Amino acid sequence: MSQSLVIFAPSGSVLYKYNNKLSPFNDFISEIVNGTCTELEPDFFTSTINQKRLYCLKRKNTYAAIYFDAVSTLDSDKIKSCLVDVLKIYLKVTEEELSDRSEKLQKLIDYQFNQLMKLLQAAKVAQSLESGPESKTNSGTSTPKKVQSQTKKTMRKWDGNQMVEVNANEVLDYSEGKAGDDSAINTDSLVSGDAFSQQDDLVLVNELNDILDEDVPSDEVSKKSGFFGKISSYFGGPIDLDEVSKTFTDQFISKNIAPATAKTITDKLNHELKGKKITLKDYKRALTVELTKILTPNVSTDLLYDVKRNSSTSNSRPYVISVVGVNGVGKSTNLAKLAYWFLQNNLNVLICACDTFRSGAVEQLKVHVNNLKRLNTTTNTKIDIFEKGYGGGDHVVATAKLAIEFAGAEGFDIVLIDTAGRTHSNAKLMAPLKKFGDAANPNKIIMVGEALVGTDSVEQAVNFNNAFGNRRSLDFFIISKVDTVGDLVGSMINMVMATKVPILFVGTGQVYTDIKRLSVKSVVDALMR
């Protein structure tokens, strides 16, 4: 399959390229400049030139463009979402002051591109399976496991005139004003079967397991063999501590651990091991223990136990959880995932719309609540939304207080409060969080942070942790979009190490069951690989 990706500046100069084949982009760029190609949405272009299908997205004066064989078909939303992530990564990583920035860029961007190519491949396989028994025998037996699960997630949706294929991975994307047609969505595609397990009368979230083992970017494999090739001569014999320590520091940085954090970890180990004769195996074992210690929570993360205990007391105050984080990280999606899980556990959930700032945010939550209502046919529980429209800081506080009162009076066990996304480095935007925390006094404050972020995650976590004043801090993190970073899971270390706040769940996709408990071992293994 012929395919390529390029990032370029408005001047046309190439900032990043994958696959080296630039020529097909030239005609496309001139079509964009001349306004002769199709603009699917503002700043999202497409064209078919010389049997190639091309797409281009513009963000912050930077363009990401992609092409592949015109015979391949994929929902343009999926392609847009890949290009959004590619540009997001590019803009973020180029801001970072890293010596090996280009290596990190290459890994993260190529990973996004490869994921998209896999979807294309899966769509092709699905097409050939549908096109008759002959092709079924040809491709059916060799279909890889991952491809099968992706094709299974494809669903049909009525778009007003005809049935169209929609990838289920996108079904919870109600950001950017997509909140219109929830009633058309088939509820089967909003959940998947294997995320939860039953233990007595409790429904428990399963542990993150194979996600981090899959899809190691290909250059990672070759790098890995290079590294081991270099170091294997030391295997069994004493090592040069400084050299090994530097190698692991670099490896951690390439896996999204912030440089200062990576150095703190390896320096600590150096200090402990200095003067001792150790082998590479000893070093790796000690480093594994160190990373495990960092990620292992020293407080209970049994949120369900807490909530159940609260609702079994005569206390009429519901259990209040509020979700905070920067814009677009997945606050409302993950709040809705929590709501779904609580409903499965026979708890009544009130969702309170306290993002009263961003236009469309209340409507976005309503779509989630409507979906959850339609999914909630097997339990005797109820879910509803509490909203008082849009307004400033005082309005947020008043809405939260009213919601908690209402929930207490109406027999809701939990209030889940969505809050406005805010830039962690903007003191003016962060200040209202303290007032909100004091007034709503949530039982738990959860920050949603993206696995994609990298170095900036340290500052994000610290600023949100400090935003609630001296007597209050974050209780948990939910790390979203872990499904989009392969084994580059260093943000988890950044956030936990900077704050000592434990990770409650990780988000692994865009359906309501796409949450997992953290598997410390899987994350540590991914970082050590």
Question: Is residue 484 at the binding interface for ligand GDP, with CB under 6 A as the rule?
Answer: yes
Phi and psi torsions of 294, nearest 5°: -60, -40
- Of 165, 161, 157, 159, nearest to 186 by C-alpha is 157
344, 510, 513, 522: which one binds ligand GDP (CB under 6 A): 510
DSSP assigned state of 376:
-
Find the shortest distance in angstroms from Cβ 528 to ligand GDP.
24
Residue number with CB closer to ligand GDP (222 or 327):
327
78, 331, 422, 516: which one binds ligand GDP (CB under 6 A): 331
Residue number with CB closer to ligand GDP (443 or 508):
508
Question: Is residue 508 at the binding interface for ligand GDP, with CB under 6 A as the rule?
Answer: yes
Question: Is residue 332 at the binding interface for ligand GDP, with CB under 6 A as the rule?
Answer: yes
How far from 219 is each of 108, 110, 111, 115, 486, CA to CA, in Å? 11, 9, 10, 14, 12
For residues 420 to 439, the per-residue mask of contacts with ligand GDP, x marking binding by CB under 6 A and - elsewhere, is -x------------------
d(CA 264, CA 57): 39
Residue number with CB closer to ligand GDP (330 or 486):
330
- Beta strand 476-480 pairing with 444-450: parallel
Dig out the tokens for 10 from the structure.
Answer: 């408005």
Positions in 135-174 near ligand GDP (CB under 6 A): 172-173
Residues near ligand GDP (CB under 6 A), total: 22
Find the shortest distance in angstroms from Cβ 507 to ligand GDP.
3
Residue number with CB closer to ligand GDP (24 or 507):
507
Residue number with CB closer to ligand GDP (29 or 147):
147
Find the shortest distance in angstroms from Cβ 233 to ligand GDP.
41
Question: Is residue 327 at the binding interface for ligand GDP, with CB under 6 A as the rule?
Answer: yes
Question: Is residue 41 at the binding interface for ligand GDP, with CB under 6 A as the rule?
Answer: no
d(CA 357, CA 361): 8
DSSP assigned state of 182:
G
- Of 292, 299, 313, nearest to 473 by C-alpha is 299
Q: Closest residue (Cβ) to ligand GDP?
A: 507
151, 245, 247, 333: which one binds ligand GDP (CB under 6 A): 333
Question: Is residue 442 at the binding interface for ligand GDP, with CB under 6 A as the rule?
Answer: no
Residue number with CB closer to ligand GDP (454 or 509):
509
Residue number with CB closer to ligand GDP (308 or 481):
481
166, 291, 329, 523: which one binds ligand GDP (CB under 6 A): 329
Which ranges in 354-431 belong to alpha helices (H)? Answer: 361-375, 393-410, 427-430
Positions in 304-323 near ligand GDP (CB under 6 A): none
Q: What is the DSSP string of 292-330?
A: HHHHS-SS---HHHHHHHHHHSS--SPEEEEEE-STTSS
**Cβ-count burial 190-221 (b if 16+ within 10 Å, e if not):** bbbeebbeeeeeebbbeebeebbeebbbeebe
DSSP assigned state of 29:
H
Question: Which range touches ligand GDP (CB under 6 A), out of 191-199, 245-253, 327-335, 519-527?
Answer: 327-335
β-bridge mates for residue 346, sequence order: none
Q: Are 364 and 333 in contact, with CB atoms under 8 Å apart?
A: no
- Of 387, 409, 413, 407, nearest to 398 by C-alpha is 387
Residue 98 amino acid letter? L
Question: Is residue 487 at the binding interface for ligand GDP, with CB under 6 A as the rule?
Answer: no
Find the shortest distance in angstroms from Cβ 390 to ligand GDP.
15
Residue number with CB closer to ligand GDP (167 or 508):
508
Q: What is the DSSP string of 63-77?
A: EEEEEEETT----HH
Find the shortest distance in angstroms from Cβ 510 to ligand GDP.
4
Q: Are 446 and 325 in contact, with CB atoms under 8 Å apart?
A: no
254, 266, 465, 480: which one binds ligand GDP (CB under 6 A): 480
Question: Is residue 328 at the binding interface for ligand GDP, with CB under 6 A as the rule?
Answer: yes
Find the shortest distance in angstroms from Cβ 442 to ligand GDP.
17
Q: Are 187 and 374 in contact, with CB atoms under 8 Å apart?
A: yes
Q: What is the DSSP string of 400-413?
A: HHHHHHHHHHHT-S
Find the shortest distance in angstroms from Cβ 189 to ligand GDP.
13
Find the shortest distance in angstroms from Cβ 504 to ligand GDP.
13
175, 187, 370, 379: which one binds ligand GDP (CB under 6 A): 175
For residues 260 to 299, the per-residue mask of contacts with ligand GDP, x marking binding by CB under 6 A and - elsewhere, is ----------------------------------------
24, 486, 490, 509: which one binds ligand GDP (CB under 6 A): 509
How far from 284 is each of 26, 82, 221, 231, 235, CA to CA, in Å? 48, 35, 19, 12, 11
Three-state DSSP class for 175? Answer: coil
Question: Is residue 454 at the binding interface for ligand GDP, with CB under 6 A as the rule?
Answer: no
330, 432, 442, 490: which one binds ligand GDP (CB under 6 A): 330
Site of interaction with ligand GDP (CB under 6 A) = 172-173, 175, 325, 327-334, 421, 480-481, 483-484, 507-510, 514
